[in-house]
Amino acid sequence: MTEKCLITNMQRFSTNDGPGIRTLVLCVGCNLKCKWCHNPETIPMHNTVFWKSALCVQCGLCIESCPEEAIRPPIPVEEARAEESAYHKIERSKCTDCMKCVEVCDFDALAPVGKMLTVDEVLDEVMRDKLFYKNSGGGLTLGGGEPTMHPKFMLELFQKAKEEGLHICLDTNGTAPWKVYEQTLPFVDFYLVDMKNMDTELHKLGTGAGNEKILENIKKLSEVGAKIIIRVPVMYDYNDTAENFEQMGEFLKGLPNPVHRLDLLPFHNWCQNKYNWMGIYWPLIEEENMDPIECEDFKEILETYGINCTIGG
C-alpha cells in the first residue's frame, strides 16, 4: 500500500527551491521551532484549522457544529475584519481539530491546513508539469515542515519520481539521523540544507535545537559527493554579523567537496496572515523587511572563501 503524508501545499511553477521550474511539495510536521518560521502551519504534526477573517460572514453555523464549544459567538463582520481586531473565531485551547466546523462552513473561512495524500496522488499532481521541468531543468522539491520526519513517504515518493525521470531536491533542516539521508542518496539530485547560526547556543535560542547534527550531516553529504545548496535566512540581531559569516565560510571551505551554492535569504514578514489565521501572536510582525542590499557585505565575505553566493536564491 502506498504511503500517505499530510500535505499543506503543492506549489507549482516554483523557481526559488532548486534549479529550473519546480513543484514544491510541503509536508506538515517539523522538529524545529524557528522564531521566524514562514510556514507555521507546518510545525504541528497534525492537521489544524485556518480561520480566515476576510472570508467569514459571522453566520454562526460553526458554533452549532463544534462538540467542544470552542467557537466564539459572532460579532459584526466589520469589527472582526478590522486590522486592529483581537477577535479570533476559534478558542484554540478547547479546539481538538476535529474539522466539524470546516465541514459546515460554506464560505471557506474555516479550512484545514493540510490534506492526507498518498504518494501516488502527490506524484500525479507533480507530473502535470513534466514538460516544464524538462525544458527548464526543474523537477520536484520536497520540503515542509521537515520532510525527513516522514521517511517512508519520502523514500517512496523519491523512488517513484526518479522512475519517472524527475530531478529531485530535498529541502531539509539537516537534523535527521544520517541513515535517513543515506537512504535518499540514490534519488536526490540536490540537498537544500538550512544553516541559521554557527554558534550552537544562538542556534538553539532561535530554533530550539543546537547545530551540531546539522553541521555533521552537511560534512557527511559532502564526503559522499552529494550536491548541496546551503540556504541561510538572514535575521536582524540574530545572525547578521560578519563573525557569523566568517565562521560559516571557514566551515564550508573545509568541506571535502565544495557546496554548489549558498543562498542568503533576507528576512520578510509576508507570512503574517498565516499566524493570524491560526490565532498565533507572531513577535516579528512589526519587524521591518530586510533590504537585499543589507546582505551584500555577507555575500562578499563568503565569496572570499571561494563560495558561490546569491542573495534571494
Sign of CA dihedral 235, 27, 187, 217: positive
Structural domain that includes position 144:
4-45+114-311
Q: Cα separation of 304 and 297, whole Å?
A: 11
**Shared domain check, 56 and 41:** no
User: Given 112, 138, 154, which residue is the final one in a domain?
Assistant: 112
**Shared domain check, 137 and 103:** no
What lies within 8 Å, CB to CB, of 98 at 6+ separation is 67, 68
Work out the number of other CB atoms within 10 angstroms of the CB of residue 107: 12
User: Given 62, 82, 112, which residue is the final one in a domain?
Assistant: 112
Predicted model pTM: 0.95
- List the Cα angle 138/305/182 in 5-degree steps: 50
Tens-digit pLDDT string for the chain (313 aa): 799 999 999 999 999 999 999 999 999 999 999 999 999 999 999 999 999 999 999 999 999 999 999 999 999 999 999 988 999 999 999 999 999 999 999 999 999 999 999 999 999 999 999 999 999 999 999 999 999 999 999 999 999 999 999 999 999 999 999 999 999 999 999 999 999 999 999 999 999 999 999 999 999 999 999 999 999 999 999 999 999 999 999 999 999 999 999 999 999 999 999 999 999 999 998 899 999 999 999 999 999 999 999 999 7
**Shared domain check, 173 and 40:** yes
**Shared domain check, 198 and 53:** no
**Shared domain check, 293 and 182:** yes
